[in-house]
């Protein structure tokens, strides 16, 4: 069904109801918002568990490189007199297969979600994962494992977009940081489970030491398939597809004891915002993501995702082999690996409080700075003679750096990438950004094994200095280009981008999407300095 955006924007009833909803949305507390949208919060939480599978897959293969049973089955003798090992080339190939599969899944999903909705896409890919997992479980050589991992990653890659967009669209503004950050926690649950399962399998003999972790992936899809079957569709997605009745039904299910007036007000707000976005977005094609103000939004999405790798977190995917290179034995490395990934869950929960107090951009930039200090120290310790105290210090610093990342930069990424795109382009923009992340991951998969490996560059802990350098460069970008979107509705964010408000002034700019698109500088508690006058004059002319 085609929706006339001009007619929606001109409808006085829709406008009045939308204003009334925004007034409630702006004043509601987190507690009140949760009790009103309790169902929406829980549906988001449960469907986000689809990323448990992605997190599980993401770290399973990398952890196997340090498992002797996997090395005995698939490894080769790289140096005379040394035990079998997986070459750096095959490490890169297997991990890059996952990245390529995820990119394919993201591209398919960005089209399918806009055409069919979030739920049908998730249901399809749950079935896909059940089928593709057979290849990985019963692989007899590395090429077969590569094929199975790549095909399975098409499914897990799709959830990287679907869970984030769904989490941002089924709750009011005040709850968005909680539901989107939980997406990161769910991914962390997968990482932690994978680390724990692989550690538990060290005592097994033969192929089931590595086959069992893959086989456990059959637990999640059937359960989540049933849950998703009964879940409500995203009302924003339904409106963008012209399904007004479906959006209304979804809102009734997302809210607690809603009155028809509350449902109609929320529906009107979604209609008004979507119509406004459609009026300023010529089309919802891929090319549109790189035109006008959408180019800036796409840039923010790409860099926010890429920073997830090159802030220093790229080492974590190779934590086991990194720690072994730093002097830990197999058991110690796998034990610390569990602690590192447990930080993902603890950090994600802590980030809820920090985001409510500090906002997105401040927490993101501060997290990068904290990791920079840890990475420099790890790198310097790489020049010190290896002793038990030095190895222990490196392990502790890696855990501290991971905890900082997973309390700040990691979970904060998700509300940023969900809030900054235009509504009609949200799935596509997140897909482009996540593709940037996967390309960065491919580069990381090429470089990091070689930096760590004793048979390649043999940098060991000195690798920390490389990531400290990339961290610093990307934090400079964050300082100048990353806007603060805390407390903003999608419509207000649209106007701030449309009027080219500088990133560092997003926080202090007052905007009302219902006041003829008027934008003004809020200066009561933030005096305008001389270097801000040009920007203020530009805004006042709008």
Tell me the DSSP string of 358-424: H-HHHHHHHHHHHHHHHHHHHHHHTTSPP-HHHHHHHHHHHHHHHHHHHHTHHHHHHHHHHHSS-GG
The 3-class secondary structure across 326-359, one letter per residue, is CCCCHHHHHHHHHHHHHHHHHHHHHHHHHHHHHC
- CB-CB contact of 58 with 50 (8 Å): no
> Do 327 and 470 reside in the same domain of the chain?
yes
Beta bridge partners of 519: 511
- Percent of all residues in the chain with a pLDDT value above 90, rounded to a whole number: 32
Helices 208-215 + 176-200 axis angle, to 10: 150
The answer to which of 99-108, 393-402, 460-469, 533-542 has the lowest mean pLDDT is 533-542
Residue 22 lies in a domain: no
- Pick the residue with more confidence: 287 or 527? 287
Residue 286 lies in a domain: yes
> Do 222 and 302 reside in the same domain of the chain?
yes
pLDDT at 354 over 70: yes
> Do 214 and 133 reside in the same domain of the chain?
yes
Confidence of residue 125 (pLDDT cuts 50, 70, 90): very high
DSSP assigned state of 85:
B
Task: Let me know how long the chain is.
Answer: 542
DSSP assigned state of 457:
T
CA 540/CA 130 separation, integer angstroms: 56
Determine the distance from the C-alpha atom of residue 512 to the mean position of all C-alpha atoms in its chain, rounded to a whole number: 29
pLDDT computed for residue 281 by the predictor: 65
> Do 517 and 464 reside in the same domain of the chain?
no
pLDDT computed for residue 511 by the predictor: 80
Confidence of residue 181 (pLDDT cuts 50, 70, 90): confident
Write down the pTM of the prediction: 0.75
Residue 263 lies in a domain: no
Confidence of residue 522 (pLDDT cuts 50, 70, 90): very low
pLDDT at 188 over 50: yes
> Do 454 and 510 reside in the same domain of the chain?
no
Q: Is 408 left (phi over 0), alpha (psi -120 to 50) or beta?
A: alpha
Beta bridge partners of 512: 518
> Do 417 and 352 reside in the same domain of the chain?
yes
pLDDT at 317 over 80: no
Q: What is the mean pLDDT of residues 194-223?
A: 85
Q: What is the mean pLDDT of residues 179-207?
A: 81
Residue 471 lies in a domain: yes
> Do 359 and 307 reside in the same domain of the chain?
yes
> Do 424 and 504 reside in the same domain of the chain?
no
- CB-CB contact of 217 with 56 (8 Å): yes
Of 245, 224, 227, which Cα lies nearest the Cα of 235? 245
> Do 175 and 306 reside in the same domain of the chain?
yes
Residue 271 lies in a domain: no
pLDDT computed for residue 3 by the predictor: 61
Residue 275 lies in a domain: no
> Do 533 and 423 reside in the same domain of the chain?
no
Domain that holds residue 321: 37-231+281-481
pLDDT at 135 over 70: yes
Q: What is the mean pLDDT of residues 117-138?
A: 93
How high is the mean pLDDT of the chain?
A: 84
CA 519/CA 528 separation, integer angstroms: 16
CATH number for 53: 1.20.1250.20
pLDDT at 51 over 50: yes
pLDDT computed for residue 321 by the predictor: 67
- Pick the residue with more confidence: 260 or 95? 260
Count the domains in the chain: 2
Of 447, 481, 515, the residue that ends a domain is 481
CA 491/CA 423 separation, integer angstroms: 9
> Do 504 and 477 reside in the same domain of the chain?
no
Residue 265 lies in a domain: no
> Do 133 and 66 reside in the same domain of the chain?
yes
Residue 248 lies in a domain: no
Q: What is the mean pLDDT of residues 490-498?
A: 88
Confidence of residue 326 (pLDDT cuts 50, 70, 90): low
The answer to which of 116-130, 139-153, 198-212, 308-322 has the lowest mean pLDDT is 308-322
pLDDT computed for residue 283 by the predictor: 63
- Pick the residue with more confidence: 38 or 448? 38
pLDDT computed for residue 353 by the predictor: 81
Determine the distance from the C-alpha atom of residue 261 to the mean position of all C-alpha atoms in its chain, rounded to a whole number: 35
CA 296/CA 278 separation, integer angstroms: 18
Of 437, 453, 481, the residue that ends a domain is 481
pLDDT computed for residue 477 by the predictor: 96
């Amino acid at each position: 069904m085609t929706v006339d955006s001009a007619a929606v924007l001109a409808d006085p009833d829709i406008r009045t109801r939308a204003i009334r909803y925004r007034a409630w949305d702006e004043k509601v507390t987190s507690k009140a918002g949760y009790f009103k949208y309790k169902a929406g919060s829980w549906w988001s939480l449960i469907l986000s568990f689809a990323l448990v599978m992605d997190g599980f897959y993401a770290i399973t293969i990398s952890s196997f490189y340090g498992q002797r049973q996997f090395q005995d089955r698939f490894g080769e003798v790289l140096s005379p007199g040394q035990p079998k090992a997986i070459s750096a080339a095959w490490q890169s190939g297997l991990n890059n297969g996952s990245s390529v599969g995820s990119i394919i899944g993201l591209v398919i999903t960005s089209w399918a979600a806009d055409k069919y909705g979030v739920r049908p896409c998730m249901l399809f890919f749950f079935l896909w994962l059940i089928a593709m997992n057979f290849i990985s479980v019963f692989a007899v050589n590395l090429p077969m494992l590569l094929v199975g991992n790549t095909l399975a990653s098409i499914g897990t890659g799709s959830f990287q977009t679907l869970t984030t967009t769904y989490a941002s669209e089924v709750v009011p503004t005040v709850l968005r940081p909680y539901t989107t950050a939980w997406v990161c926690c769910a991914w962390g649950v997968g990482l932690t489970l994978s680390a724990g399962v692989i550690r538990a399998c060290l005592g097994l003999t033969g192929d089931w030491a590595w086959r069992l972790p893959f086989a456990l992936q059959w637990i999640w899809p059937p359960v989540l398939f049933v849950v998703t079957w009964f879940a409500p569709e995203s009302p924003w997605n339904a409106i963008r597809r012209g399904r007004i009745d479906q959006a209304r039904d979804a809102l009734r299910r997302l809210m607690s004891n809603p009155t028809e007036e509350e449902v109609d007000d929320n529906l009107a707000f979604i209609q008004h915002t979507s119509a406004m976005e459609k009026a300023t977005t010529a089309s919802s094609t891929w090319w549109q993501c790189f035109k006008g103000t959408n180019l800036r939004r796409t840039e923010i999405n790409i860099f926010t995702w890429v920073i997830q790798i090159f802030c220093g977190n790229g080492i974590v995917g190779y934590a086991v082999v990194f720690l072994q290179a730093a002097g830990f034995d197999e058991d110690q490395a796998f034990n610390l690996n569990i602690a590192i990934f447990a930080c993902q869950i603890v950090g994600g929960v802590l980030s809820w409080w920090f985001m409510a107090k500090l906002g997105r951009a401040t927490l993101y930039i501060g997290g990068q700075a904290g990791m920079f200090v840890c990475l420099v120290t790890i790198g310097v310790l790489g020049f010190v003679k290896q002793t038990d105290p030095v190895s222990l210090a490196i392990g502790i610093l890696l855990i501290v750096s991971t905890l900082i990342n997973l309390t700040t930069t990691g979970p904060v990424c998700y509300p940023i990438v969900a809030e900054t795109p235009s509504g009609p382009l949200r799935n596509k923009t997140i897909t482009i950004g996540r593709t940037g992340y996967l390309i960065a991951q491919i580069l990381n998969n090429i470089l990091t094994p070689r930096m760590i490996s004793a048979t390649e560059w043999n940098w060991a802990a000195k690798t920390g200095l490389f990531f400290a350098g990339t961290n610093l460069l990307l934090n400079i970008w964050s300082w100048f280009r990353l806007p603060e979107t805390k407390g903003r509705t999608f419509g207000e964010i649209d106007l701030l981008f449309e009027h080219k408000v500088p990133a560092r002034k997003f926080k202090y700019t007052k905007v009302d999407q219902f006041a003829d698109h008027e934008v003004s500088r809020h200066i009561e508690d933030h005096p305008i300095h001389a270097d801000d006058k040009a920007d203020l004059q530009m805004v006042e002319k709008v």
